[in-house]
Amino acid sequence: MKLRRIAGALGAEIEAVDLAARLSPDAVAEIRRAFLEHQVIFFRDQPLAPAQFMAFARHMGRPIEYPFVKGIEGFAEVIEVRKLEHERQNFGGIWHSDTAYLAEPPMGSMLLAREVPPYGGDTEFASQYAAYEALSEGMRRLLDGLKAVNASSKADATRTREELTRQKEIVAEYVAEHPVVRTHPETGRKALYVNVGHTVRFSGMSEEESAPLLAFLFRHQVRPEFTCRFQWRAGSLAFWDNRCTQHNPVNDYHGHRRVMHRITLAGDKPR
């Protein structure tokens, strides 16, 4: 197993491993260490069948159902994320942490490329460790005591009509309060935990009062030096730590088809 970093802030590609094979405990532990250290890890040439994809996911955590979109046939925890040739809007097309509006947001997510466009469709990732650590001491003190309100309704605009037709029973809205700065339960490091896709306001404040500081944080936390960018090929797999990263699927391939399979892994209540 070989590891190659792809950017300064986060991201590493793991080579010379076949995820369809039976992984030894040592291999599982090595992958897990790389995941915690680099925040998002990538694999190439992994044309996994759904059952093999699920088997790898279970090595890393507990797969759970996504709250809105139905799973593929036979695998409730595997959802299809697709943009078709005629669509202009992609799924989740904004910087965000996955489902931060849940009381227990996911630990991580895995995305496996099935069909990719001839160009474009990259995904960007941003380290929220780096974003927090780059703030001034005074700003860190201010944010450490704040909580933020996150709502699923804020993300509605990023879902296409085709995605909405594949929804499960519609829930009016999920809302959850989480610390603006969360402590990673495994590494002990602090990370910013607000995002433009879901965060509405600070707890105890109005949206208008919250807007100036949130606007600053939304700009700050995705500065180029905190990011990496991944170019997909069919069979590529990304596994990111939702507790300390954000991601943004770049919507620059209109007229082409992109199909991915995704698995979400259970997390815990941010602290």
- 5 part of the active site: no
Q: How far apart are CA 205 and CA 142, in angstroms?
A: 14
Where b means 16+ CB within 10 Å and e means fewer, 150-167 reads bbbebbeebbbeebeeee
- 262 part of the active site: yes
Q: Out of 159, 184, 247, 258, pick the active-site residue.
A: 247
- 86 part of the active site: no
Whose structure tokens read 């296409």? 160
Strands 2-5 and 12-15: antiparallel
Q: Out of 38, 82, 96, 198, pick the active-site residue.
A: 96
- 96 part of the active site: yes
Spatial neighbors of 57 by CB under 8 A, at least 6 apart, are: 63, 77, 110, 263, 265
Q: How far apart are CA 66 and CA 76, in angstroms?
A: 9
Q: Out of 98, 159, 182, 184, pick the active-site residue.
A: 98
Residues labelled catalytic? 96, 98, 247, 262
